[in-house]
Amino acid sequence: MRGENPDVPVSFIARFPMLDPVAKFLSDFHVVCAGIFVVIAMINLVGPKGNDASKGKAAFHIWLGRLASWGIVPHYVAIGCWLNVLAIYMPLEDWKLAPPLSEWRMQTAYIWPFAANILVSNCMGFFLCRYSFMPQAAATPLKWLTAASIAFWWTIGLYMMGSQAFELGLGGFGADVVSPGGDKDNIAQPFWQPMTFVIVAVGTVQSLQDLVAYKALVIVEESGTTVLSWKDMHKWAMVDLMWQAAVIFGFFASYFPFCLYGFPEWTCISSPFFAVPLILVLSLPIVPHAKWTYGFIGALFSGKMAEFSKLGHAWDGIKDGSYGTKPKAK
């Protein structure tokens, strides 16, 4: 994590020289989009909502959300998945993005479930049961994608990260000496071991978020937005996305070698746990919604969602598009 040359182009994410200018642009563009998404999510969570009494404030919330859903999310998800494929499969000698062994396995173990969570949450929060191209029936594939994400984490993901976090091995299914970086991986292992410990924590939380999404999607699959209001589905998705944005941007910010550009030495992290306070600060906008989140999850798992969500239906049929489709008449 030392010895980088500031004159060599380094990706925000990979911290590796990226000599291909197109690849570096896409990688850095992805990180910038993550930063913009964090800002939008923070503003909309702490600021006025789409059901604000002031039409101007409600419109501000709606259009800022549309900037995120149409202007950032599609290419953010697509580019992120493409970069993840490159980080996992391209050999180091062929592609300057390929990370060392532990980070390469983080991409496999954590980022794939992360990508599934982001995709499903964005669909639930912006598109499902709101637009004709994503009707109620779309809840079925989203449900199974979420189930696959949960299964992947509790098998492959937790094994790969947990074995490193608790120093039981390198999580390579018996092939621990084979990796894109070869023997160089062992040099970086003391740094990546505590990072994998952080990943175990956030990955497990992510799987619990996936479980909440799965339960919500089962309801939507069966009843559209007549039981679970679109407003409440949207709000859960935004709480989920704010936490995920805080986690991933916290990692991005803690990775970047600030000290190489004139900042104090401590800004080049010596421990991955530096990401933890950043994540906690960035996730503060969730705190005002803690009571609602507790009630939502409780209603979801106790079978009382219809009672919990009854007030939300008042906003489901607003004509200006601030919330989803009008509930079907019984």
> What is the secondary structure of 230-265 as a DSSP string?
HHHHHHHHHHHHHHHHHHHHHHHHHHS-GGGGTS-G
How high is the pLDDT of residue 74? Answer: 84
| Of 18, 37, 28, 24, nearest in space to 247 by CA | 37
Q: Residue 150: pLDDT band by 50, 70, 90 thresholds?
A: very high
How long a stretch of residues is the chain?
330
Q: Residue 181: pLDDT band by 50, 70, 90 thresholds?
A: very low
Q: Is the per-residue pLDDT at 194 higher than 60? A: yes
Q: Which residue has the higher pLDDT, 95 or 154?
A: 154
Q: Which residue has the higher pLDDT, 254 or 308?
A: 308
Task: Give the Cα separation of 68 and 49 in Å (integer).
Answer: 15
The mean per-residue pLDDT over the stretch 265-270 comes to 70
Task: Give the Cα separation of 32 and 61 in Å (integer).
Answer: 21
Q: Is the per-residue pLDDT at 15 higher than 80? A: no
Terminal alpha carbon distance of the chain: 62
Q: Which residue has the higher pLDDT, 9 or 86?
A: 86
The mean per-residue pLDDT over the stretch 1-7 comes to 53
How high is the pLDDT of residue 90? Answer: 63
How high is the pLDDT of residue 60? Answer: 92
Q: Is the per-residue pLDDT at 204 higher than 90? A: yes
Q: What percent of the chain has pLDDT over 90?
A: 33
| Of 10, 87, 11, 75, nearest in space to 37 by CA | 75
Q: Is the per-residue pLDDT at 7 higher than 60? A: yes
Asked whether the beta carbons of 129 and 324 are under 8 A apart, the reply is yes
How high is the pLDDT of residue 98? Answer: 46
Q: Is the per-residue pLDDT at 164 higher than 70? A: yes
> Which span out of 53-67, 86-100, 158-172 was modeled with the highest average pLDDT?
53-67
Q: Is the per-residue pLDDT at 105 higher than 70? A: yes
How high is the pLDDT of residue 282? Answer: 85
Task: Please report the DSSP string for 54-114 in residue order.
Answer: SHHHHHHHHHHHHHHHHHTHHHHHHHHHHHHHHHHHS-TTT-TT---HHHHHHIIIIIHHH
Q: Residue 326: pLDDT band by 50, 70, 90 thresholds?
A: very low
Task: Give the Cα separation of 221 and 187 in Å (integer).
Answer: 49
Average pLDDT, the chain: 80
| H helix runs in 107-156, sequence order | 112-122, 139-152
Phi, psi at 10, each rounded to 5°: -120, 130
How high is the pLDDT of residue 319? Answer: 46
Q: Residue 294: pLDDT band by 50, 70, 90 thresholds?
A: very high
Angstrom CA distances, 241 to 45, 52, 79, 248, stand at 11, 22, 18, 10
Report helix, strand or coil for 30. helix
Task: Give the Cα separation of 191 and 194 in Å (integer).
Answer: 6
Task: Please give the structure tokens belonging to residue 185.
Answer: 């991986």
pTM for this predicted structure: 0.83
Task: Give the Cα separation of 57 and 240 in Å (integer).
Answer: 23
Q: Which residue has the higher pLDDT, 219 or 28?
A: 219
How high is the pLDDT of residue 135? Answer: 92
Least confident of 33-47, 104-118, 242-256, 286-300: 242-256
Amino acid at 302: S
Residues 6+ positions from 73 with CB-CB distance below 8 Å:
37, 122, 126
Q: What percent of the chain has pLDDT over 70?
A: 77
pLDDT, tens digit (0-9, with 9 covering 90-100), for 32-77 = 888 888 889 889 998 888 888 888 988 899 899 899 889 888 888 8
The mean per-residue pLDDT over the stretch 151-176 comes to 84
What are the helix and strand counts (H, E) for the chain?
A: 12, 0
Asked whether the beta carbons of 113 and 200 are under 8 A apart, the reply is no
DSSP 8-state secondary structure symbol assigned to residue 115: H
Q: Which residue has the higher pLDDT, 245 or 269?
A: 245
Task: Please report the DSSP string for 265-276 in residue order.
Answer: GGGS-SSGGGHH
Phi, psi at 172, each rounded to 5°: -105, 20
